[in-house]
Structure 1
């Protein structure tokens, strides 16, 4: 089995923000982590007081996937991100603001 090519966190985040910009989905980098290997969390705020946060995980076949970390009132999601960042200062956090909850994480090249 061939090894999966790994992008640096900095490169992936810049590419992700560019992809969101092309889709006219507002997004902001709210925490910059380790440029090479920092984990990435994507928060999606639906601008109605609720949000979801996604992180990289593995499925049952050990494939890398985006998994939901937390969903709920925006303040609760934000509190969890503060806890995650305290635990891992190398963490990147991207915040997406979209009333429809679009994040593009399920698209080719971002999965």
Structure 2
């Protein structure tokens, strides 16, 4: 996560861990805030996208360019299932190659 934060800053944005989970567990969710007030949230991609050989985390879009209250609801729902989850907040209009977002049937 520290690498993600450093890369966000070097891209001219802001990043912070806003909710800390368990060091050895806990899913990571990324909340992206846009200048227009809308937000997106990314969560762990399904295991079918995991590759044993690279150790990279992959994410899927859970909600794209929505109101903050809708993003809050997604994160709250996930926290009910995993109280150890992490939330990283980014203030960037473009995520570029900061992290890999996979295409799933839902997005």
Q: How do residues 1-111 of structure 1 correspond to structure 2 at under 5 angstroms?
A: 13-58=1-46, 62-64=48-50, 65-71=58-64, 72-98=66-92, 100-102=93-95, 104-106=98-100
Query: Unpaired segments of 5 or more residues in structure 2?
Result: 51-57, 102-107
Secondary structure at the aligned position of 2:45 is classed as strand
Deviation of the 1:22 alpha carbon: 2.1
Deviation of the 1:39 alpha carbon: 0.6
RMSD: 2.0
What is the TM-score when the length of structure 2 is the normalising length?
Answer: 0.73
What is the TM-score when the length of structure 1 is the normalising length?
Answer: 0.71
**Equivalences, count:** 92
**Larger RCO, structures 1/2 (Cα 8 Å, 6+ apart):** 2
Deviation of the 1:47 alpha carbon: 2.7
Moved over 4 A (4+): none
Query: Unpaired segments of 5 or more residues in structure 1?
Result: 1-12
